Amino acid sequence: MAPYTPIVATLGYIMSPDGRSVLMIHRDARPEDVHYGKYNGLGGKLHPDEDIVAGMCREIREEADIIVDDLVLRGTVSWPGFGKHDEDWFGFIFRIDRWHGTPLTTNPEGTLEWVALERMPTLNLWDSDRLWLDMVFAPGPRTFHGIAPYQRGQLVSWHVTLL
């Protein structure tokens, strides 16, 4: 078996000050985008010279133009075969509870929208996101660590460990 050498990434969910909505990106800017039409949190690839928290904070600054004041690691997800060319991804999933600034309404990837938590299940999300997204917003300190293999753009299976 070949060694697992995933692209390391961050994915953050920015909470509204009242904790009832989350800032999501509707990836509607580039039709060639593998995420086109999907809703997602904000984030991206880790740079070689930064730790995972610095990478998350940089991505939030770049994509929403806000500064993170407080974030919590909610879990990790491994996505073998997920990428545009079936590459492997490994994501650190954060919830951003405190921040400052005025969020952008658009960026080069799409439209930024405040979405009520109860509306999240109705969004066009990746199939694997539906399996763990509730754990991001759950109260308490539990973290999750999952694996969601994809083949040809389709979720194959799901396994999670809760700590």
Domain ranges across the chain = 7-162
Cα–Cα separations (whole angstroms), residue 2 to 26, 88, 91: 35, 12, 20
pLDDT at 2: 82
Report how far residue 124's alpha carbon sits from residue 108's, in angstroms, rounded to the nearest whole number.
19
**For residue 157, what are its two tokens?**
């299976």
pTM of structure: 0.96
pLDDT at 1: 80
pLDDT < 70 positions in the chain: none
Report how far residue 122's alpha carbon sits from residue 136's, in angstroms, rounded to the nearest whole number.
17
CATH of the domain spanning 7-162, picked from 3.90.79.10, 3.30.70.600, 3.10.105.10, 2.120.10.30: 3.90.79.10
